[in-house]
Amino acid sequence: MAVGLEGANVQGKFTSNSSSIPQFLLLALADRRELQLLHFWLFLVISLAALLANSLILSAVACNHHLHTPMGFFLLNLSLTDLGCICTTVPKAMHNSPRDTRTIYAGCAAQQFLFTFFISAEFSLLTIMCYDRYVAICKPLHYGTLLGSRACAHMAAAAWGTGFLIALLHTANTFSLPLCQGNALGQFFCEIPHILKLSCSHSSLRELGLLAFSAFLFLVCFVFIVFSYVQIFRAVLRIPSQQGWHKAFSTCLPHPAVVSLFLNTSFFAYLKPPSISSPTLDLVVAVLYSLVPPTVNPLIYNLRNQELKDALRKMIVGCFSAARDCLLPSANNSQCVS
């Protein structure tokens, strides 16, 4: 399914002891033309689904005043990070997939920075959204105080700022490493583990240490999420009515599902032992943590959030009604008639 790295070095771009390589080569994901086209259509379907779903959520939250809540505000920010992840990785992959020639990609540092920025901000937002659910269920009387508009803005700014700082550190550190193994990346986007494979072994320890520190921060956030949901479920079990149980669980359960998918795949991608690494496995894991969450996040929250479903339904029905009235004008719709 994926092409090996043997013999993929580009002549004239580096020497075996080169310390600076300005360009990287994203290898084709398949040798056969049919599989290359299959990858193109797969990326196209995923990107269109993610763009449509996240755009609908952005429009619903922005246009419906019933969704102008802390959770709606954080959902809007989450959709922005999802759109950023898709727009950073997919366009170049779609450009390369149907082509037989290997394409030199000169913006590898920019792509890695943006992807790390959006993916780190997304996990920070997921942690904040967990805190929102904890306050809503365990401390409902203090919800307006703890999650006012100013507090929500500060928390969202902290999430984006954290993502920017992590991305800046990783990008500056990764691209300061000398490369001794060529410049061919066996992946559809510039991913840190694959760049480390090309670096000199004695130089990559610094970035590995930074990755371990980032993993520790994510682990702390995950422990906070688990602890919060333990408290949430304890509070839910004390609710006397089954209707209250159903509403609380339907509101909270999508969040740990998204967090688990995101955390497990990203940890495996960045921390898996080299002995179990293979081109096909690396490709599957990269798709799971970089493309699947931005696509399924809107579906998970939409399917379990009744207010969001109602807002989307009203917005879509309103759009279809307006289009129908303009296409079939009547005496009551003279504004659509030229």
pLDDT in tens, 23-64: 777 776 667 777 778 878 888 888 898 898 888 888 888 887
**For residue 249, what are its two tokens?**
């669980």
SS3 315: helix
Which of 17-21, 213-217, 251-255 is least confident?
17-21
∠ CA 138-144-150, nearest 5°, is: 125
SS3 184: strand
To 10 degrees, the CA torsion angle through 226, 257, 213, 269? 150
pLDDT at 272: 73
Strand order in the sheet with 24-26: 103-105, 24-26, 184-185
∠ CA 24-27-29, nearest 5°, is: 150
pLDDT in tens, 283-314: 788 888 888 888 888 777 666 666 777 777 77
Amino acid at the residue 253:
L
The domain locations on the chain are: 24-274+285-304
> pLDDT tier at 114 (50, 70, 90 boundaries)?
very high
Only one residue has tokens 């792509």, namely: 111
Q: What span, in angstroms and rounded, lies between the C-alpha atoms of 74 and 301?
A: 12
pLDDT at 117: 95
Cβ atoms of 83 and 54 within 8 Å: the answer is yes
pLDDT in tens, 227-275: 888 888 888 777 776 666 666 666 666 667 677 777 777 777 777 776 6
| Architecture of the domain delimited by 24-274+285-304 | Up-down Bundle (1.20)
pTM of the model: 0.81
